[in-house]
Amino acid sequence: MVTMQQAVAGFSWDTAVDLSSRENRARLSPAAIKGLLRVAAHWRLRDDDTRGLIGGLSSGSFYAMKNKAAKTLDEDQLTRISLLIGIYKALNILYGEKLADAWMQLANTNPMFGGDSPVNYVKKGGIPALMRVRQLLDARRGGK
C-alpha cells in the first residue's frame, strides 16, 4: 500500500514552498491531485464534497483533473489539499483505519462542529475551518 507521504512525493513537509511561483505550483499539482483523490476515496466523499473542500471547483474542471488532464492548481487549492492531507494523517495516527476513514463524515458533538460533520464544517468555513480541524487533531495527538 502506498502511504500518503508517497502519494504526494516531491512535497517537502519541512520547508515552506513559494506557492506564488507558477513553476512550484505546476511541480506540486500532480502529486497534490493524486493525494486529494486518495483522501477522497478513503473518506468515501462524493465528488460534490471533494469539489467543495478544494474551494468549489467546477464539475468540468474537477472531472478533467480526475482524468489526469493537465491542471495546475492555484495557491488556495494547494493550501487546502495540504491541510486535508494533514487532517488525513492525524486521523490515521489517532484512530484505526475504519474510524479514521469515517470521522470526517460523522456527526460530531465537539462544540466546534455544532453537531454537524467535520466535512460540512470545513466546506462552509474554508481554509480557516480546515486549519482549526487540523489544529484540533494535532492537539489531540500531542502536537506531534
CA–CA gap between residue 31 and residue 27 (Å, rounded): 8
Residues with Cβ within 8 Å of residue 40, at least 6 apart in sequence: 49, 50
pLDDT given for residue 144 in this prediction: 53
Q: How far, in Å, CA of 91 to CA of 108, rounded?
A: 14
Predicted TM-score of the model (pTM)? 0.83
CB 17 within 8 A of CB 24: yes
The pLDDT value recorded for residue 143 is 58
Question: pLDDT tens string for the chain (144 positions)?
Answer: 444 444 455 555 567 777 877 888 888 888 999 999 999 999 999 999 999 999 888 888 888 888 876 688 889 999 999 999 999 999 999 999 999 999 999 999 999 999 999 999 999 999 999 999 999 999 998 855
103: DSSP letter: G
